[in-house]
Amino acid sequence: MQTPGTTVLAIGTKKGLWLASSPDRETWTLSEPKFLMEEIPSVGIDTRGGRTRLFAGRMSWHFGPCIAHSDDLGETWTEPQEGSLRFGADEGVSLERIWQIQPDAEHRPGVVWAGCQPISVWKSTDHGETFELNRGLWDHPHRSEWGAGFGGAAAHTVLPSPADETLHVAMSTGGVYRSDDGGTSWQPRNKGISAYFMPDPNPEFGQCVHKVARDAVDPDRLFAQNHHGVYTSTDRGDSWQSIAEGLPADFGFVMLAHPHRSGTAWVIPLKADGERIPPDGHLQVHRTDDGGATWEACDAGLPQAEYNAVLRDAACVDTAETPGVYFGTRGGTVYASADEGRTFREVARNLPDVLSVRAAVVPA
């Protein structure tokens, strides 16, 4: 059991969940694996209300997907008897994978969102015990035209705004959609984001957005890593502008925003769609402090040669005063930075492919 002030890092991999803990974000202790041989494409850590609840989006190739939660930092896990997230028999489809588990803002303490495959968004109002399908998105007239990225047809990003009832989702491949009424109705918000792989490279929807992050100070400001293209929006997604200049490549999966300071974000570029490795095999985190106008390459502590990709949810920030930055590779190495991503140290190596990481300081 960790003591207050411990940082907990949940590492979801292709063959199970590992938990790492650290008193100082410098030295780390790695747990034995949980859910061995199950894929863990999503993890969540909810520290609202003075307690810590861990979530694991599990996927057994034999026995299907489910969400489990733990209130004792991963010692024991619970799944509600009826299951937490299930399509109704009338829908004619079955849940394939949970891609995102996103606790809502502090002032909506019971609300947790899930983004899933097939493309769907789910809302829990009981702290993630049970989830209800968001009908607004599920019944959207565009749904039949949304496609599947290589990883599957998924809503992989759910971003509730702490300021109001605004909600953004991003999906592969449908692009960004926004709801202004808490999820009742949805509109595509992709103007300026290119879909080079389509006959019309500027469609209303259909973009392959890989990850979207919201600025913590200015909730109208968003950052997006696209399937080629890095963008920002200052008007809640109404329009997007490229901020890829200065980066070694505009492809990648990761987009992180600073939890306290406006205009700071991180990406981890990959060379290209057809060459999904760090550019020249040189793993670097790139950081902007001016909303994407300029980028700084950060590789202190990272290996000289690394040919594994970093997937969309295999990176995160914690919410410490000086936030930590974390990511894991498909080669099973996990890195942590205690100085906002400038220098990294290895937390674990030789794990299975890292699919998801989330970190949080356990409250006192």
DSSP 3-state assignment of 163? coil
- Residue 45 · residue 7 · CB < 8 Å: no
* Of 93 and 163, CB closest to other proteins: 93
Closest CB 265 distance from other proteins, rounded Å: 35
- Work out whether 88 is an interface residue with other proteins (CB under 8 A): yes
In the list 30, 47, 77, 83, the residue contacting other proteins (rule: CB under 8 A) is: 83
* Of 13 and 166, CB closest to other proteins: 13
Residues 203-242 close enough to bind other proteins by CB under 8 A:
none
Closest CB 114 distance from other proteins, rounded Å: 15
Residues 1-60 close enough to bind other proteins by CB under 8 A:
37, 60
Closest CB 237 distance from other proteins, rounded Å: 32
Question: CA–CA separation, 192 vs 231, rounded Å?
Answer: 9
The first and second tokens of residue 119, run together, are: 């493309």
Binding residues with other proteins: total (CB under 8 A): 20
* Of 83 and 203, CB closest to other proteins: 83
Residues 91-150 close enough to bind other proteins by CB under 8 A:
91-95
The dihedral of CA 139, 141, 144, 146: what is its sign? negative
Beta bridge partners of 103: 112
- Work out whether 76 is an interface residue with other proteins (CB under 8 A): no
Closest CA to 41 of 128, 100, 121: 100
User: Under 8 Å CB-to-CB from 282, ≥6 apart: which residues?
Assistant: 299, 304, 305, 306
Closest CA to 312 of 196, 187, 207, 208: 208
Give, as one character, the DSSP assignment of residue 184. S
Closest CB 357 distance from other proteins, rounded Å: 22
* Of 38 and 104, CB closest to other proteins: 38
In the list 50, 62, 141, 305, the residue contacting other proteins (rule: CB under 8 A) is: 62
- Residue 153 · residue 172 · CB < 8 Å: yes
From 78-86, 137-145, 150-158, 296-304, give the range in contact with other proteins by CB under 8 A. Answer: 78-86
In the list 1, 32, 63, 107, the residue contacting other proteins (rule: CB under 8 A) is: 63
- Work out whether 350 is an interface residue with other proteins (CB under 8 A): no
Closest CA to 127 of 104, 157, 100: 104
- Dump the DSSP string for 125-138: SSTTSS-EE-HHHH
Beta bridge partners of 50: none
Whose tokens are 């609300």? That residue is: 111
Judged by the rule CB under 8 A, the positions of this chain that interact with other proteins are 37, 60-64, 66, 79, 81-83, 86-89, 91-95
